[in-house]
């Protein structure tokens, strides 16, 4: 065994030794199993309820007693703490792709995903031009509802096998991608990639094309992950959810830049940000650790707001603790007053669509 292999072996052994036994693991698994069963039952109940309501709604629409000139109330204005809806929604999806999600990703690009448990079909919708991927795969064209789209395709292959190089993602496995300008000011990319070497993708290129052709001009609401009682002129420019990391919300004032450039030249997001997730994983975020002293505490119904010392150059932070071990880290620019930080943080609560992050 050479020195590198010995060093790796030692490093792995030392690293693993830092993990101690997890008491109650079996109980946690059983409880999780119970929750999963409940979720499945709840989902089935919801589907049944939706079917019943949809039927009732259809009857109402065609009811003979309804007058044709009935006034339809205008849609309420979008609250400042909600993200703008996606202008496009899925129309057709392959069988099994029944877990859908919508995020608004910086700097203002919607990402619709649908998964069957493995790699997701991702649809990116942008008002800026999306450049088709160029790599070791094959580029072509295809017709999407009368518009010529650019395709990019890497077939399943052994990881790292020629001619797909050694750099991910091409080296790792298959990719199918379709990019086109769907209408003026709207570019769309439908993408599927699986880092599984020779294993085929969860959907075929033909199915991906059918997904692209089936996209509908229907607004889809971005989930309300965080509620902000007093946004003080801020509005949501990005909203993302991850079942492990929780919610990440980026806010902006006016029409300023989403990105800022640090002294090092690296691009950072504008520092108005809220992270909401499990306390055990999130409190290490943004240098928000126990070594940093609490400067101010505010007890509110159902939550505690803590302002802590920040060692960061660009921002200052507050922490909001909620039941179920959930916590929000609120980051604001360094020049924000402490009072404004506490006002913003005090108004932060989990939104109606937020699912508490499990451990």
The reply to whether 25 sits near another protein by the rule CB under 8 A is yes
The reply to whether 21 sits near another protein by the rule CB under 8 A is yes
Phi, psi of 271 (to 5 degrees): -75, 10
The reply to whether 200 sits near another protein by the rule CB under 8 A is no
Work out the burial of residue 186: count CB atoms within 10 Å of its CB; fewer than 13 is exposed, 13-18 middle, 19 or more buried.
middle
Work out the burial of residue 215: count CB atoms within 10 Å of its CB; fewer than 13 is exposed, 13-18 middle, 19 or more buried.
buried
Q: Which CB, 93 or 195, lies closer to another protein?
A: 195
Q: Which of 180, 194, 272, 322 binds another protein (CB under 8 A)?
A: 194
Whole-number minimum distance, CB 107 to another protein, in Å?
Answer: 8
Work out the burial of residue 83: count CB atoms within 10 Å of its CB; fewer than 13 is exposed, 13-18 middle, 19 or more buried.
buried
Q: Which of 135, 196, 333, 356 binds another protein (CB under 8 A)?
A: 196
Q: Which of 38, 41, 118, 216 binds another protein (CB under 8 A)?
A: 118
Whole-number minimum distance, CB 250 to another protein, in Å?
Answer: 8
The reply to whether 229 sits near another protein by the rule CB under 8 A is no
Cα gap 188→186, rounded to integer Å: 7
Question: Which x/- pattern, by CB under 8 A, does the window 312-331 give for another protein?
Answer: x-xx---------------x
Q: Which residues contact 235 (CB under 8 A, 6 or more apart)?
A: 80, 251, 252, 253
Q: Which CB, 150 or 310, lies closer to another protein?
A: 310
Q: Which of 69, 95, 266, 299 binds another protein (CB under 8 A)?
A: 266
Pairing mode, strands 121-126 and 186-193: antiparallel
* CB crowding 106-134: b at 16 or more within 10 Å, else e: bbbbbbbbbbbeebbbbbbbbeeebeebe
Residue with tokens 């070791």: 136
- Name residues contacting another protein, limited to 135-174 (CB under 8 A): 158-160, 166, 168-169, 172
Q: Which CB, 260 or 342, lies closer to another protein?
A: 260
Q: Which CB, 158 or 296, lies closer to another protein?
A: 158
Q: What would you report as the CA-atom Rg of the chain, rounded to the nearest whole angstrom?
A: 24
Q: Taking contact as CB under 8 A, which single stretch among the options 90-98, 112-120, 140-148, 221-229 is the one that binds another protein?
A: 112-120
């Amino acid at each position: 065994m050479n020195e590198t292999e010995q060093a790796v072996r030692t490093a792995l052994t030392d690293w693993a030794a830092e993990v101690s036994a997890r008491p109650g693991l079996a109980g946690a698994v059983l409880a999780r199993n119970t929750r999963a069963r409940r979720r499945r039952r709840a989902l089935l109940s919801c589907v049944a309820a939706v079917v019943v309501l949809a039927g009732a709604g259809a009857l109402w629409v065609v009811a003979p007693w309804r007058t044709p000139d009935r006034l339809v109330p205008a849609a309420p204005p979008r609250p400042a703490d909600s993200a703008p809806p996606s202008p496009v929604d899925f129309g057709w999806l392959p069988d099994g792709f029944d877990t859908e999600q919508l995020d608004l990703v910086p700097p203002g690009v919607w990402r619709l995903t649908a998964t069957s448990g493995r790699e997701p079909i991702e649809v990116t919708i942008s008002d800026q031009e999306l450049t088709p991927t160029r790599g070791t795969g094959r580029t072509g064209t295809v017709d999407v509802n009368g518009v010529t789209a650019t395709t990019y395709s890497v077939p399943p292959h052994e990881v790292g096998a020629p001619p797909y190089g050694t750099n991910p993602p091409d080296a790792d496995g298959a990719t199918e991608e379709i990019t086109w300008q769907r209408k003026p000011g709207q570019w769309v990319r439908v993408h599927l990639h699986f880092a599984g070497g020779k294993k085929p993708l969860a959907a075929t290129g033909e199915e991906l094309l059918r997904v692209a052709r089936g996209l509908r001009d229907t607004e889809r609401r971005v989930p309300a992950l965080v509620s902000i009682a007093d946004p003080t002129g801020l509005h949501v420019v990005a909203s993302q959810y991850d079942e492990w990391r929780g919610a990440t919300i980026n806010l902006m004032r006016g029409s300023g830049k989403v990105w800022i450039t640090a002294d090092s030249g690296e691009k950072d997001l504008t520092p108005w940000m809220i992270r909401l997730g499990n306390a055990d994983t999130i409190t290490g975020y943004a240098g928000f650790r126990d070594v940093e002293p609490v400067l101010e505490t505010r007890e509110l119904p159902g939550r505690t707001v803590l302002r802590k010392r920040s060692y960061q150059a660009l921002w200052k932070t507050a922490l909001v603790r909620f039941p179920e071990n959930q916590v929000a880290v609120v980051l604001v620019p360094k020049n924000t007053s402490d009072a404004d930080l506490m006002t913003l943080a005090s108004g932060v609560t989990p939104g109606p669509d937020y699912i508490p992050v499990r451990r």
